[in-house]
Chains A and B, each alone.
Chain A
């Protein structure tokens, strides 16, 4: 017979789910949970410095492991601070379980101290949410939260636990079984047959790979499928890493800052098979001009994505790996050599080219030199902005779960805490966090968390003393009127990092920046490497917002 408080029961149920880390911050209304967590001593707690940081630390863990990340926050401001990380996880389909403290049940609705209706507020930011109204409900809700977070299309789940439920006592014989996602139904055989028929007839087939293919299982199935039938692929931002960079059938990223070749080939293909991608506007450009001449086959695990923006010729609601494995034997070995020749020629002529790659302290040179020093290993996170687009364009992503970026929500401040989470979940890996001065400032307090946990995170700060991507748009589309987007304070990030106890270097001031970079990447633990660059250097090519992908603006990527 077990006699447990609600808080103790919660921790037991988390253990039961195989949870190894929790990122969070304690406060008045989750202290019973913290006391139970501390006394039990089985799960490692990562004390963040802001609940949004905790949310992104948990996301980093989830994105590299594929298992739900866990966040603890107290009621009121602690809970509201998690919302951006939850909304981000929802957009990018990242499994999270966020457990918030709440004022006691009897005080709900009285405007009690640190009371907020986080259940109501988190509805649109989560896949599902719960408020637990009795200790008995915990037995059902916690396993279900994990099953929902990890099931079908993954996402964030919030569980709000009032303080009196945390301190209530229950007696039970045994813990319930761990919650596990329900198995995914087999793809519809008729839809598969119709998709195969279209593929067999196509002379210029092309795949569009999204985040749904960026798991090891899906990646393996995608590669087998592409190689067996010689079908080339473009990737969305979140699909990078699904197949190794430089693969002969990989064209590159499509969309706003993708390769012109990718956007051209989407227009030229006679069948586009979209796999695990939701046709977001940054990828498609103006939707009525996207892939205009042909139908699409759309495979997605979420039935709602099929037909949401574009009615496909064939829609298949299925897991990417499952669908491609089932589809492969139905395909004939058709010859589309002329198309593959065209793809190669288009890649050669309209692929991405970067200048000053030999200079360590240049926007693309720093990416290349980091990649060289990493030898295809390690994990890469980014923040949001010009540096993010450059990394997406130029960093050779080799495998799934290597690439952590805030795609759908585009959250500045994502990079550092996500990198910390990744480093703690994968302690043998080096995690590089490319950031900008605007983004880094949005969660810079997590430098303390990185130092405290000796997280193997290398911050590559691309400092242009501006919101670079904002200035790029102001320059190109607002008559060059740069307003509200310059950082004129001359913030010394190296001293800030050192103040947090983190080794830090101005690479521009080093005699041998390459040697300093290589040494810093090799030394264990966190560090910051600053590279100064000009905000006037833009990211090209670029599709103007709202324009068709065929209307890319060219420029020199220096």
Chain B
């Protein structure tokens, strides 16, 4: 429904419940609704009950809809949209090259 596809990348920063099915729920949503998911990074938070999740998403004009759909997942506690460069991933890429 939306016009031009751009290659702009957006990072979604999620706080989610920490149990084995959560990643399936998040990735399943992206696959099922044909949203472009370019990168995923997950790490447990201090207590172990929750995780932080970074998603790199290709913004093809549906970002508002994607965020609403992600927010609707019951294990997703919070969603923040970062329009800046996906710095976490850049730093990670640096580590992986070492």
Contacts and interface: CB of A to CB of B under 8 A. Distances in A.
Contact of B64 (A148, A307, A309): A307
A123 B65 contact: no
A120 interface: yes
Interface residues of A, number: 16
B21 A119 contact: yes
Contacts of A308: 65
B74 interface: yes
Contacts of B91: none
Contacts of B28: 123-124
Contacts, number: 27
Nearest to A304: B68
Nearest to A288: B1
A120 B21 CA distance: 8
A496 B18 CA distance: 52
A309 B68 contact: no
Contacts of A194: none
Contacts of B68: 303-304
Contact of B21 (A131, A304, A310): A131
Nearest to B2: A311
A287 B65 contact: no
Contact of A123 (B25, B64, B72): B25
A308 B72 CA distance: 14
A128 B1 contact: no
Contact of B65 (A120, A128, A148, A307): A307
A119 B22 CA distance: 11
B32 interface: yes
A308 B35 CA distance: 13
B84 interface: no
Interface size class, chain B: 10 to 19
B24 interface: yes
B43 interface: no
Contact of B24 (A123, A128, A307): A123
Contacts of A304: 65, 68-69, 72
B1 A310 contact: yes
A120 B74 contact: no
Nearest to B28: A123
B24 A120 contact: yes
A374 B1 CA distance: 44
Contacts of A310: 1
A384 B71 CA distance: 34
Interface in A113-141: 119-120, 123-124, 128-129, 131
Interface in B27-60: 28, 32
A120 B72 CA distance: 18
Contacts of B69: 304
A131 B28 CA distance: 17
A307 B25 CA distance: 22
A128 B64 CA distance: 22
B74 A128 contact: yes
Interface string A292-334: 0000000000111001111000000000000000000000000
Interface of A: 119-120, 123-124, 128-129, 131, 148, 287, 302-304, 307-310
Q: 6 closest Cβ contacts across the A-B interface?
A: A128-B74, A304-B68, A123-B28, A124-B32, A303-B68, A304-B69
11 contacts: A123-B25, A124-B28, A131-B21, A302-B72, A303-B72, A304-B65, A304-B69, A307-B64, A307-B65, A309-B1, A310-B1
